């Protein structure tokens, strides 16, 4: 089936709206869509997929914004701006988070903002709880304009470089 909303239509959709069959299409043609609550899409095979397309003849790319606006209140250092979890079942049928990407405010001081991105994975202990992934790459805005600090892995890990490695600047 296909559901199409155009313009500023008030749909009156219930809190849980399900589209069947699995090939259902929902097209919303509007400049602003507000959704309160959770949006879940389930598909049994080869998906689900979410595609964001810019059909304008310009250089602008589509964008996804994850925002933590604290209900209009001031931000605080270490506020999480957004997180993406990657989870799957293990061989015992238990769901685990195997990796995550999180952006945060390393420093929320007005005029001196610094961001941080952490790419993390679950390692040997197999505890894929939401907060038990280990950082593999951490990129943090530095304290000087144009400075970005990168931390690879942890003290107990091995960093492999395939190909050439060129280092410019201090190595200590």
The pLDDT score that the predictor gives to residue 17 is: 47
Handedness of CA 134, 39, 23, 63 (dihedral sign): negative
pLDDT tens for 78-99 read 999 999 999 888 899 988 889 9
Say which residues have a Cβ less than 8 Å from residue 156's Cβ, sequence separation at least 6.
none
pTM (2 d.p.): 0.72
The pLDDT score that the predictor gives to residue 15 is: 41
Say which residues have a Cβ less than 8 Å from residue 102's Cβ, sequence separation at least 6.
80, 82, 83, 84, 117, 118, 120
Between residues 59 and 8, the one the model is more confident about: 59
Average pLDDT on 141-159 reads: 87
The pLDDT score that the predictor gives to residue 83 is: 94
Percent share of the chain, pLDDT over 90: 34
**Is 70 exceeded by the pLDDT of residue 30?**
no
The pLDDT score that the predictor gives to residue 6 is: 47
């Amino acid at each position: 089936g296909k559901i199409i909303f155009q313009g500023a239509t008030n749909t009156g959709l219930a809190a849980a709206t399900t589209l069947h069959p699995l090939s259902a299409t929902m097209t919303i043609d509007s400049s602003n869509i507000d959704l309160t609550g959770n949006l879940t899409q389930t598909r049994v095979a080869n998906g689900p997929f979410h595609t964001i397309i810019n059909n304008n003849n310009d250089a602008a790319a589509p964008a996804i914004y994850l925002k933590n606006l604290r209900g209009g209140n001031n931000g605080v250092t270490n506020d999480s701006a957004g997180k993406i979890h990657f989870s799957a079942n293990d061989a015992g049928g238990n769901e685990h988070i195997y990796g995550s990407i999180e952006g945060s405010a390393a420093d929320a001081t007005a005029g001196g903002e610094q961001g941080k991105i952490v790419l993390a994975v679950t390692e040997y202990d197999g505890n894929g709880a939401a907060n038990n992934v280990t950082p593999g790459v951490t990129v943090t805005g530095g304290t000087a304009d144009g400075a970005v600090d990168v931390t690879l892995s942890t003290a107990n890990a091995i960093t492999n470089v395939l190909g050439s490695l060129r280092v410019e600047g201090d190595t200590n």
